[in-house]
């Protein structure tokens, strides 16, 4: 009876170790991907976010072509993709580093619009005392469209939530690591009389964590997280789709690596046992 109890105690420790390793892996994956500004910048490039945002900004400015007094074609590229790309990268860096948001090239956009207004304004508008005030209002409105397109309130909120999660995970990381270390030491101590059992136990711990991580990856993929978010622009929708998909792929790769390591440890444990048997038989023949 005591032997059965000890056996189950060992198995429970191995299972708890596997869950702790899973939690630790999830935390490290989140910190190195979602909560990493370089990962976000990489997804920005892969999803052509800047190109799509530039198109959306220009399209919104074009919708006011009648008020501006210019054909829509003249306003097609008032905001360049390069300028948007620089600003988005700056915005992401500032947000992740918790610095005040900056905007570059705003004056450039205003000057372009003023030049278009000067080119297309009608002669009668020159004598209109309210024309200058109206032009200033249009320029201010265009700057607002430019700023809102770059510094998306939805992206800002998303990054802030991710950073809050990162802070919590960083605070839990030493605790989970310490618990896992103690449990693995316990596993090694309990099975210290047999290298085969030590290796197989570690294989179960790592393999179990890998399969849990793989299950989580599949669940996240099927859940379709971005559909649950209140996203109102196609550019941001595509960015977050790419962002979360890359995160899930990273999870899957880590899970597969853990399963492969577990299989390797299991094979080594079996090999150690086989070699011991062969060595014992040779001694008997001698």
Cα–Cα distance list, 114 to 67, 76, 142 (Å): 13, 15, 11
C-alpha dihedral (30, 33, 36, 38), degrees to nearest 10: 180
What does the pLDDT look like over 99-131, one tens digit per residue? 888 889 888 888 888 888 777 765 445 555 555
pLDDT at residue 71 in the model: 82
Per-residue pLDDT averaged across 155-176, rounded?
90
* Residue 5 binned pLDDT confidence (cut-offs 50, 70, 90): low
The fraction of the chain above a pLDDT of 70, given in percent, is 85
How far, in Å, CA of 139 to CA of 112, rounded?
A: 10
| DSSP for residue 128 | -
Across the chain, mean pLDDT equals 83
**pLDDT greater than 50 at residue 91:** yes
Mean pLDDT of 87-104: 89
Determine the pLDDT at residue 41.
Answer: 92
| Torsional sign, CA 51, 53, 58, 62 | positive
Residue 97 has pLDDT above 70, yes or no: yes
């Amino acid at each position: 009876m005591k032997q059965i109890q000890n056996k189950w105690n060992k198995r429970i420790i191995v299972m708890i170790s596997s869950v702790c390793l899973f939690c630790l892996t999830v935390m490290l994956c989140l910190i190195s991907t979602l909560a990493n500004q370089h990962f976000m910048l990489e997804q920005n490039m892969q999803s052509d976010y800047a190109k799509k945002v530039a198109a959306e900004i220009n399209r919104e400015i074009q919708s006011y072509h009648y008020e501006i007094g210019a054909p829509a074609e003249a306003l097609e590229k008032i905001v360049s993709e390069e300028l948007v790309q620089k600003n988005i990268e700056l915005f992401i860096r500032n947000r992740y580093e918790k610095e005040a948001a900056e905007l570059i090239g705003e004056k450039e956009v205003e000057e372009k619009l003023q030049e278009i207004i000067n080119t297309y304004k009608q002669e009668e508008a020159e004598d209109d005392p309210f024309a200058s005030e109206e032009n200033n209002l249009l320029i201010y409105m265009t700057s607002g469209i430019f700023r809102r397109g770059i510094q998306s309130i939805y992206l800002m909120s998303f990054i802030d939530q991710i950073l809050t999660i990162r802070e919590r995970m960083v605070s839990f990381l030493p605790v989970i690591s310490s618990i896992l270390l103690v449990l693995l030491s316990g596993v090694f101590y309990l099975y210290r009389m047999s290298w085969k059992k030590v290796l197989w136990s570690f294989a179960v711990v790592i393999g179990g964590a890998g399969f849990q991580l793989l299950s989580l990856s599949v669940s996240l993929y099927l859940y379709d997280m971005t559909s649950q978010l209140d996203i109102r622009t196609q550019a941001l929708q595509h960015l977050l789709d790419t962002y979360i998909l890359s995160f899930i792929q990273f999870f899957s790769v880590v899970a597969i690596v853990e399963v492969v390591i577990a299989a390797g440890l299991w094979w080594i444990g079996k090999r150690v046992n086989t070699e011991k048997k062969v060595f014992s038989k040779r001694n008997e023949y001698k």
